[in-house]
Amino acid sequence: MPLIEIRDLHFYRGDRAIFRGVDLDIHRGKITAIMGPSGTGKTTLLRLIGGQLAPDKGTIKVDGQDVHKLSHSELYEIRKRMGMLFQSGALLTDISVFDNVAFPLREHTVLPESMIRDLVLMKLQAVGLRNAKDLMPSELSGGMARRVALARAVTLDPMMIMYDEPFTGQDPISMGTLVTLIKRINQSMGLTSIVVSHDLEETSAIADDIYLLSDGRVIEQGTPDALRSSTSEWVKQFMEGLPDGPVSFHYPGVDFGDDLMNAGSKR
């Protein structure tokens, strides 16, 4: 049984359809990548899974529970089992690295400070930043901040972790470090991971399964190797980074010639 089951998902922002009948499974212990052009709702999907947004139609089940039928207290409990790595890192700027990682433990447990200290040091050691525990977020590089955020995301030993564009803005060394950490932590902690990313090469290197989204639907799903050998024009355009194809280079609307002819009548 998949950890996350999404069936017939519909979601709208005003009149615009973000999802139009999406079916998607996230399997336990695997790294699943959600990919597609900008504006296809990848981050929105993470928010729907976490219960921050509600679908207009369809169901999202996490560990057998329909997320959007849970009470406030039940949703609070299941969220404690979900780790989240935001694109910005979202560290608390006024407290140290140590206190950032300790924050979930102090918020959600009654553990003594001595045990919290040991757990925090273990998580920071796992991401290579134990000796940076006394630094402030403003003293960290972008890659270091992302690693501290990862340590914080796994502090409560969640069943799953969601990564929102984890590689954005990283130099090659930091990117390689994050790729290795995501894979290593997923294996060592027995996690289920969802990675939303535009970085095809790095994501394909660690993903067990990839879902490609476009126009509100799942266009293709499979292993990285299966997608590379796909005959779909849409998949080929995305995997090879072609500027034009099923996803048009130009924003849809009035024909250019017609627009020029009407230039004098209105803007």
In CATH, what is the architecture of 4-230? Answer: 3-Layer(aba) Sandwich (3.40)
> What pLDDT is attached to residue 252?
59
CB 202 within 8 A of CB 175: yes
> What pLDDT is attached to residue 267?
55
Query: Does residue 246 have a pLDDT over 60?
Result: no
- The token pair that represents 125 in the structure block: 């050691």
- The token pair that represents 122 in the structure block: 């273990």
How far are the Cα atoms of 120, 193, 221, 225 from residue 209, in angstroms, in the given order?
Answer: 31, 11, 7, 10
CB 7 within 8 A of CB 182: no
Half-sphere exposure for 146 (CA within 13 Å, toward CB)? 24
pLDDT tens readout for residues 207-245: 999 999 988 899 889 998 888 887 777 777 777 666 665
> What pLDDT is attached to residue 228?
82
Its sign, for the CA torsion 89, 143, 197, 182, is negative
Task: Give residue limits of the domains in the chain.
Answer: 4-230, 235-267
Distance CA 33, CA 26 (A): 9
> What pLDDT is attached to residue 116?
93
pTM: 0.82
Query: Does residue 255 have a pLDDT over 60?
Result: yes
